[in-house]
Amino acid sequence: MHKAKDVNNASTLSKKLIEVDLKISTVALLLASLFLCIYQYFVLRSDLDEQVQAQAVSVASQMSTHLAASNAELGKSLSNRLQPFDFIESAEIFTPQGKLLASYGKTKALPAGFKDASNPRWHFNALAAVQRINGGGAQAGLLVLHATLDQLLIRLAVYMCVAVLAIAAALMVARLIVVGLKEELLQMETHLQFLAHTDAVTGLPNRHAFSSRLDSVISVVSEHGGSADLLLLDLDNFKIVNDTLGHQSGDTLLGLVAERLSSILREGDIVCRIGGDEFAIILETRASKSAGERIAEKIVGSFKEPFIVDQQEIYITGSIGISSFPGGGIDQSTLTRNADTAMYKAKSKGKNSFEQFHPEMDVSVKKRAAIELSLRKALERNELALYYQPKVSLKDQKVMGFEALLRWNHPEMGLVSPVDFIPIAEESGLIVPIGSWVIETACRQIRAWSDAGFNELKVAVNLSARQTKSIALIDDVLNALRKSGLHPWQLELEITESMLMDNIHDNMDLLENLQAAGIFLSIDDFGTGYSSMAYLKRLPIDQLKIDRAFIKDIPGDGDDEAIVSAIVDMAHRLGIAVVAEGAETCEQIAFLEAAGCDAVQGFYVSHPLTADDVPQFLERHNKALIAAAS
């Protein structure tokens, strides 16, 4: 509606401008023609004046011989002499004393008196020439010729008419050309306006249009009351669709998402695509109660249905942040920022959901943004470090290897726990370069300890969800092994049970590829992620790590004891080794040993150690083993 009105206004304005242009041109051309006419008048008048003066000289010299004749004779010869000249209107011959001797006139008008004739005044349409007639060496008379400029004025009038007609014709043609060009220009402008405000992939208004739509909704609601909601929807893991199916299919999916959103919304609601996989929905209601959450719920629910792209069913989810006017911000940028904050919150809570903005969200987002900023520089500044926590075999008490645990030595915050920064690294994608640094550093470190005489050690590295989806992971792993010269079995990769089950099909392929390369594979935090027993049988897994939650209350908690014993039994039947995490007491160790658990990791054996402390720990541990054996 607004757009059509704008286009009409632009068209009317453009027509008015053409009219004004043409009027100015007409006046300018008419003035120019008028000036030319005036100039022409003076040039022609001057020519005529010269002719009349010449005639006066010539006639005066002829008349000097006729002065002696009678006045009638004199008049006749004057008339004979002047008749052929159209422009001579009349003439008089006076004595030097002013007595009229003879006259000539085309009309019957009375001849001019001596005073007027001998001293002619300037007239627009007439001019006069006064010439002495000499006789016998003295002035014998005075000849006055009167010329008319009527012919000249008629020519000028015709010239002016032709000029005006030519100007009118030229202006008509110019008008037609200009109007045509302006129409074409207007159409082009309208099309450009459309392109500038429309997203080419979905046909929805784009980010540019979104800003002006949100602004106008804010001003309408401010003026007339009611409320408005801004919903920012970000598709979850859309990048994976692009990476796996290609950008063409990604674009098709975006188009289908746009259609689905439009079908959920009422007329008057606005949906825009404001970024790669980001959509904005503006809802304006007359009621004071916000409609945002209801619509967000509908949108999240609608994603349960698959999208058909290239005859394939694609499931995608979205995370939505809602900010409402006026509570969630009174201007466009605050509303958008707050909706973004809420959307981010929905993502961090596990995606596929929505959150309404609350002011408390702002603080945690600022803290998070600051961490992300300095985490970006942490790798370059050498602020990341690995700690190593030993895993000990329960069969012979030997150290089998270490789990590499990441730490961040922040210049101001001190030692930052991975719990605080891994989720941020994961969300921002920084986990991919950081994870590859962890794999490379851990392999290099184990190689260094092997070279120092501590043979047959394994190093376990935790994988994050984002890493498992990165196509660079296998290359990173193989490069780290090649560079360090480590045997593949010396590298253990841990993937949590919940991460594994989240994307079981893709992860199954990944694990098969890693196992084919000879890498040792563990399921971390086992027992917390609802593994399907059917999958467990098929998974290419070497080891389960029982989650600390089941260890902390044993012995004593009958349920946990039963669960731990059952996990160990089941894993062994499937040919999978079992490690217990978080063993802190010798009673726990005794129970786990009796239950047949293969290995333990936990504070009872050691807290995570710096790389420098590991050789000393290994020497101490080996000595204790020898002492116990002897």
Nearest CA-CA partner of 276 in 379, 207, 337, 343: 207
Please say which residue, 525 or 560, places its beta carbon nearer to ligand LFPHGCPZ.
525
Q: Say how far apart CA 577 and CA 536 lie, in whole Å.
A: 13
**Beta strand pairing call for 100-105 and 88-94:** antiparallel
Please say which residue, 227 or 462, places its beta carbon nearer to ligand LFPHGCPZ.
462
Residue whose CB is nearest to ligand LFPHGCPZ in the complex, by number: 602
Nearest CA-CA partner of 310 in 241, 239, 240, 237: 241
Q: Facing residues of 127 across strands?
A: 147
Cβ-Cβ contacts under 8 Å for 68 (sequence gap 6 or more)? none
Count the neighbouring beta carbons within 10 Å of the beta carbon of residue 99.
11
Of 147-155, 263-271, 334-342, 418-426: span binding ligand LFPHGCPZ (CB under 6 A): 418-426
608 contacts ligand LFPHGCPZ (rule: CB under 6 A):
yes
Q: Amino acid identity of 11?
A: S
Q: Amino acid identity of 213?
A: R
610 contacts ligand LFPHGCPZ (rule: CB under 6 A):
no
Of 7-15, 140-148, 219-227, 414-422: span binding ligand LFPHGCPZ (CB under 6 A): 414-422
Please say which residue, 250 or 608, places its beta carbon nearer to ligand LFPHGCPZ.
608
Coil, strand, or helix at residue 603? coil
Nearest CA-CA partner of 401 in 355, 445, 338: 445
Please say which residue, 77 or 389, places its beta carbon nearer to ligand LFPHGCPZ.
389
Q: What string marks each residue from 506 to 545 as x (binds ligand LFPHGCPZ by CB under 6 A) or -?
A: ------------------xx--------------------
Least spacing, CB of residue 422 vs ligand LFPHGCPZ, in Å: 5
- 3-state SS, one letter per residue, for 580-599: ECCCCCHHHHHHHHHHCCCE
Residue 125 near residue 146, CB atoms below 8 Å: no
Site for ligand LFPHGCPZ in 579-598 (CB under 6 A): 581-582, 584
Q: Say how far apart CA 547 and CA 324 lie, in whole Å.
A: 42
Q: How many residues bind ligand LFPHGCPZ (CB under 6 A)?
A: 21
* From 403, 440, 476, 542, residue interacting with ligand LFPHGCPZ (rule: CB under 6 A): 403
Site for ligand LFPHGCPZ in 432-491 (CB under 6 A): 438, 462, 464
Angle in degrees, 0-180, between the axes of helices 418-428 and 431-451, rounded to the nearest 10: 130
Q: Residue with structure tokens 């700690």?
A: 387
Nearest CA-CA partner of 257 in 240, 274, 235, 236: 235
Please say which residue, 355 or 581, places its beta carbon nearer to ligand LFPHGCPZ.
581
* From 417, 532, 610, 616, residue interacting with ligand LFPHGCPZ (rule: CB under 6 A): 417
Q: Say how far apart CA 475 and CA 312 lie, in whole Å.
A: 29
Of 7-15, 125-133, 333-341, 601-609: span binding ligand LFPHGCPZ (CB under 6 A): 601-609
Please say which residue, 354 or 402, places its beta carbon nearer to ligand LFPHGCPZ.
402
Residue 593, φ and ψ in degrees, nearest 5: -65, -45
Please say which residue, 252 or 389, places its beta carbon nearer to ligand LFPHGCPZ.
389
Of 99-107, 248-256, 399-407, 478-486: span binding ligand LFPHGCPZ (CB under 6 A): 399-407
Please say which residue, 90 or 389, places its beta carbon nearer to ligand LFPHGCPZ.
389
405 contacts ligand LFPHGCPZ (rule: CB under 6 A):
yes
Query: In 149-160, which positions are buried (b, 16+ CB within 10 angstroms) versus exposed (e)?
Result: beebeeebeeeb
**Beta strand pairing call for 270-275 and 227-235:** unpaired
Angle in degrees, 0-180, between the axes of helices 418-428 and 360-378, rounded to the nearest 10: 80
Least spacing, CB of residue 451 vs ligand LFPHGCPZ, in Å: 23
Least spacing, CB of residue 460 vs ligand LFPHGCPZ, in Å: 8
Q: Facing residues of 520 across strands?
A: 492
Q: What string marks each residue from 552 to 581 as x (binds ligand LFPHGCPZ by CB under 6 A) or -?
A: -----------------------------x
Interface residues with ligand LFPHGCPZ (CB under 6 A) are 389, 403, 405-406, 417-419, 422, 438, 462, 464, 524-525, 548, 581-582, 584, 601-603, 608
